[in-house]
Amino acid sequence: MSEEKVIIFDTTLRDGEQSPGASLSIAEKLEIAQQLAILGVDIIEAGFPVSSPAQFEATRLVAEQVQGPTIAALARASEGDIESAGKAIAPAKKKRIHTFIATSPVHMKHKLKKNSDEVLKMAVAAVKFAGNFVKDIEFSPEDACRSEMPFLIEILTAVIEAGATTLNIPDTVGYVLPYEYGRIIAQLKSDVPGIDKCVISTHCHNDLGMAVANSLAGVRNGARQIECAINGMGERAGNAALEEVVMGIKTRPDFFATQSAGGLSTNINTKEIYRTSQLVSQLTGFVIQPNKAIVGANAFAHESGVHVDGVLKERTTYEIMTPESVGLRGSRMVLGRHTGRHGFVNKCKQLGFNLNKQETENAYQRFLEIADKKKEVFEEDIAAIINEEIHIIEQAYQLEYLHVASGTGTLPTASVKIKVKDQVKQAAACGDGPVDAAYEAIREATGLSPKLENYTIRAVTGGKEALGEAIVRISTDGRTYIGRGISTDIIEASAKAYVDAINRMVADKGEKSELKVEL
Ligand code: KIV
Ligand code: ZN
C-alpha cells in the first residue's frame, strides 16, 4: 500500500508577510519563493494581488519565474479581487485562486454587515467567477471554527457545486483546541455532500499555541492539505510552522498509519528546512527563538550531563530526529587564515551557494578579514559572510570609520565618518550606551532619522571569538526596513546593520508590499 501525500501549502509570502513588522521587497519575495520550490512545497501562496501594486507584481513575478509548485493568489469574494488574482498568476504553469469570505456570526454581522444568505450567494458567485481564470479553486469560510456548523455545511456544499476543488477550514483567530478542530474536520468530511471530490485543508492560527497540533488533528481526521508558514510566521501569533508539521508527519509514521493504511508523507525535502528557515529569518528580520522546535539554535543541543552521556551512548535516548534530517550539519571548524581561494570556493559550493565571480571575490576578501581576527572559522560564519554579500544593495551611505568610547562612569560617545557619494561626513554624539551613541552619530552624519523599531544581536557561532550579527528594524512613513551587519566586534556589527537599514530605506522604490486593503 503506497503512502498518501499531505499537500503542503506555504503561505509565508501571504499570511506570513502579514506578521506585524514583516515586509518584503519584490526581490526578497522572489528569492524566498525560489527556495520554497527547492524545499519542495506543493503550493506557494504568493500574495494578495489586489491589495497593492507591489503585491500584484510580486505575485506575477513568482508565477512567471518559479517552477515546480502551484502558484496561488488570495482574493476576497469579489470580482475585482478575483480578476486581479487571476491576472497575477496567469504566467504560472500550475495556478490556483484562493477566495474567501467570513462565515461566523460575529464577522458577518460586524465586519461584513451581511446576513448568511447574502454571504452564501457571494461565495458561490466568487467561486464561479474564479472558474473563468483557473480550474484549481480554493474556498475558505473565514473564521470557520466560530461559524455555525449547519451554515458551514450549507456554504461548503454550495461552493463545491459551484466548482471549488479545495475546501480550507481556517481557525482564523486561533480559538479551538486540537480535539475540537479534529471533530470539525471529521464532521465536515462526513456531512458535506460531494466533499470526497475535494481536498480538505487546514489553516490554523497560533493564538493559543495550538496551530501545529490543530493542523495535525485535522490531518488525523481527513484533511490532506496543511496551510503553514516558515518559522510559523503570520498574523498575530502566526500560522502553523511548516517545519513542525512536516517533521511531525515524518517523525510519527506510526501515529498517522492508523489513519491511512500506507501511512502519510509530504513532498518536502526536509534537508532544506534549516536553510529555508534561515533565509526567511534573515530577510524578514524575525529572529528565531533559541528553543524554537526544529530550527531553533538549541533544538538539537544537549546541555545536561545525563543527556549528553545518553546521546553519546545511543543517540535515540534523547533525539527523536537527527539534526542532519533538517539540514543542520553542526558547527564545524572548516577554514583558517591560510585557506586559499580554491578551498574557500569549494566550501561555498558544499554549502549550496553558487556565487558569481565578483561575489566570490568580495566574499573571499571578507573571509580573509574575519579569519585574521578569528582563529576558527565555522560553516555558519561562512554562510553569514556570503549572505551579507549576496544581499548587499547599492550603498548610498558607507560606514568608513567608527570610534566608540564607553565604560563605567563615562558618558558613552561615538564618532563616525560616513561616505556619501564623493563626500565624507563626520559626526560625533553621545548616547545611553555605545550602540545608542553610534546610532545618534550616524543620524547626525546622514541627516536621516528613521525610527528604530527593534534591535537584536546574536552570536553566529559559540566561543569567545564568535562572529556577532546585528539585526535592526527601522521605520519611516509607515514602511519598515531591515538591516543586518556582521563583525567580530558587536558595536561595529550594530553600526553596520543600522547603515544597511538606512541604505535599504533610501533605495526603496515604493515596492514594499504593504497591504492597502483590509482582509
Ligand atoms: O486566517 C484566515 O482566515 C485567512 C484566510 C484568508 C484564509 O488567512
Ligand atoms: Zn490566516
Cα of 205 to ligand 2 centre, how many Å? 6
Cα of 20 to ligand 1 centre, how many Å? 15
d(CA 192, CA 184): 11
Cα of 377 to ligand 1 centre, how many Å? 44
CATH of domain 4-284: 3.20.20.70
d(CA 503, CA 501): 5
**Helix, strand, coil % over all residues of the chain, rounded to 5:** 45, 20, 35
Nearest CA to ligand 1 atom 8: 15
Ligand 1 atom at minimal distance to the Cα of residue 143: 3
The string of pLDDT tens digits covering residues 52-103 is 999 999 999 999 999 999 999 999 999 999 999 999 999 999 999 999 999 9
d(CA 138, CA 135): 10
Q: What are the Cα distances from residue 514, in Å, to 26, 46, 404, 416, 455?
A: 11, 14, 37, 33, 21
- State whether the beta carbon of 172 lies less than 6 angstroms from ligand 1: yes
- State whether the beta carbon of 170 lies less than 6 angstroms from ligand 1: yes
The grid cell for 10 is 506555504
3-class DSSP string for 186-216? HHHHHHCCCHHHCEEEEEEECCCCCHHHHHH
φ/ψ of residue 374, rounded to 5: -120, 130
Cα of 15 to ligand 1 centre, how many Å? 7
Residues sharing a CB contact under 8 Å with residue 264, sequence separation 6 or more, in sequence order? 3, 4, 5, 6, 219, 249, 253, 256, 257
pLDDT at 324 (0 to 100): 93
- State whether the beta carbon of 232 lies less than 6 angstroms from ligand 1: no
- State whether the beta carbon of 100 lies less than 6 angstroms from ligand 1: yes
Domain ranges of the chain: 4-284, 301-328, 332-392, 397-507
Helices (H) then strands (E): counts for the chain: 17, 18
Residue 73: CA count within 13 A, CB half-sphere: 31
4-284 and 397-507: identical CATH topology: no
Please calculate the CA angle 394-479-496 and round it to the nearest 5 degrees: 40
d(CA 32, CA 13): 8
Cα of 252 to ligand 1 centre, how many Å? 28
- State whether the beta carbon of 16 lies less than 6 angstroms from ligand 1: no
pLDDT at 214 (0 to 100): 98
Ligand 1 atom at minimal distance to the Cα of residue 519: 6
pLDDT at 391 (0 to 100): 83
Mutate to test the pocket of ligand 1, among 10, 147, 205 (most ligand atoms within 8 A of CB): 205
- Angle between helix 357-373 and helix 341-350 axes, rounded to 10 deg: 110
Eight-state DSSP code of residue 69 = S
- State whether the beta carbon of 140 lies less than 6 angstroms from ligand 1: yes
Ligand 1 atom at minimal distance to the Cα of residue 168: 7
d(CA 381, CA 270): 22
The total of other beta-carbon atoms located within 10 Å of residue 65's CB is 14
- The per-residue pLDDT string of the chain (519 residues; one tens digit each, 9 = 90 and over) reads 678 999 999 999 999 998 887 879 999 999 999 999 999 999 999 999 999 999 999 999 999 999 999 999 999 999 999 999 999 999 999 999 999 999 999 999 999 999 999 999 999 999 999 999 999 999 999 999 999 999 999 999 999 999 999 999 999 999 999 999 999 999 999 999 999 999 999 999 999 999 999 999 999 999 999 999 999 999 999 999 999 999 999 999 889 886 666 789 999 999 999 999 999 998 998 989 989 999 998 898 776 777 777 878 888 888 899 999 999 876 565 677 788 888 888 888 878 788 889 989 999 998 888 888 877 788 888 888 888 888 888 889 999 999 999 999 999 999 999 999 889 999 999 999 999 999 999 999 999 999 999 999 988 876 667 889 999 999 998 888 999 999 999 999 999 999 999 999 998 866 665 555 656
Q: From the options 1.10.357.10, 3.30.160.270, 3.40.250.10, 3.20.10.10, give the CATH code of 397-507.
A: 3.30.160.270
- Angle between helix 242-251 and helix 211-220 axes, rounded to 10 deg: 40
From the CA of 140, the nearest ligand is: 1
- State whether the beta carbon of 203 lies less than 6 angstroms from ligand 1: yes
How far is C-alpha 259 from the chain's CA centre?
Answer: 30
Nearest CA to ligand 1 atom 3: 172
Q: Are 266 and 231 in contact (CB under 8 A)?
A: no
Cα of 236 to ligand 2 centre, how many Å? 10
d(CA 497, CA 501): 6
DSSP string, 267-300: S--GGGHHHHHHHHHHHHT-PPPTT-TTTSTTTT
Nearest CA to ligand 1 atom 2: 172
- State whether the beta carbon of 379 lies less than 6 angstroms from ligand 1: no
- State whether the beta carbon of 171 lies less than 6 angstroms from ligand 1: no
Q: Are 59 and 45 in contact (CB under 8 A)?
A: no
Element (H, E) at 9: strand 7-10
Cα of 171 to ligand 2 centre, how many Å? 8
Cα of 196 to ligand 1 centre, how many Å? 23
* DSSP H helices in 258-378: 273-284, 305-313, 341-350, 357-373
Mutate to test the pocket of ligand 1, among 9, 99, 140 (most ligand atoms within 8 A of CB): 140
- State whether the beta carbon of 142 lies less than 6 angstroms from ligand 1: yes
Cα of 418 to ligand 1 centre, how many Å? 45
The grid cell for 496 is 553596520
How far is C-alpha 253 from the chain's CA centre?
Answer: 26
The grid cell for 240 is 502553523
Task: Kindly report the pTM of this predicted structure.
Answer: 0.89
Nearest CA to ligand 1 atom 5: 142
Eight-state DSSP code of residue 355 = -
Please calculate the CA angle 371-396-424 and round it to the nearest 5 degrees: 85
Nearest CA to ligand 1 atom 4: 172
Cα of 512 to ligand 1 centre, how many Å? 21
Mutate to test the pocket of ligand 1, among 43, 146, 166, 172 (most ligand atoms within 8 A of CB): 172
Mutate to test the pocket of ligand 1, among 18, 100, 111 (most ligand atoms within 8 A of CB): 100
pLDDT at 351 (0 to 100): 81
The total of other beta-carbon atoms located within 10 Å of residue 20's CB is 8
